[in-house]
A = this chain, B = another copy of it.
């Protein structure tokens, strides 16, 4: 057996509509040993979203208070709404050796990369521009102007790809999930992540 190691911070990011949310949900369903940090946000819940499960839905005032108190590991403003990851629960899981998955927009991921170089950063892409459009419209939670803006910004986000370790083109959720699991499994075997030599020889 290999020695004890620090948990892996697995950041799943990419343009809105690439499917990173569904991918993280599927990962946590299949890998119950992976911890998940529920994000805080000031946006309104979509159909079926539950407070404390999908997000902590905060008011602008509550969110600002948490920023001022230094409670966020990262936070970002996306399409006029704020999203953030609470620092405490994440650091606790990592220190205990638990891997933690974060579903972040590219702004938050870029910020986190700077302070968490050892994290594993995965960029999820939609298979095509048309598919991206179909998914964003199909979600039904954005106005036509918002759809337009998300598509335009999604294209711009491609230039951030070089900040990431891995790229997944999300053609089918099942295949992409299998690859994400392979990435996590491989990273657990990295020599640089072993804190002590195996207890052998």
Task: List residues of A whose CB falls within 8 A of some B CB.
Answer: 1-2, 123, 125-129, 132, 154-155, 158, 161-162, 164-169, 171, 178-179, 181-183, 185-187, 189-191, 194, 197-198, 200-201
Residue of B nearest to A181 (CB): B182
Task: List B contacts of A125 (CB < 8 A).
Answer: 198, 200
- 14 pairs from A and B in contact (CB 8 Å cutoff): A2-B167, A2-B169, A128-B201, A154-B201, A158-B197, A158-B201, A165-B191, A167-B189, A167-B191, A167-B194, A182-B182, A182-B183, A186-B186, A186-B187
Task: List B contacts of A123 (CB < 8 A).
Answer: 191
Task: List B contacts of A189 (CB < 8 A).
Answer: 166-168, 179, 182-183
> What DSSP secondary structure best describes chain A's contact surface?
mixed
Complex Cα distance, B92 from A107, in Å, reads 41
Task: List B contacts of A164 (CB < 8 A).
Answer: 191
Task: List B contacts of A178 (CB < 8 A).
Answer: 185
Residue of B nearest to A194 (CB): B167
Q: How far is the CB of A175 from chain B (nearest CB, A)?
A: 11
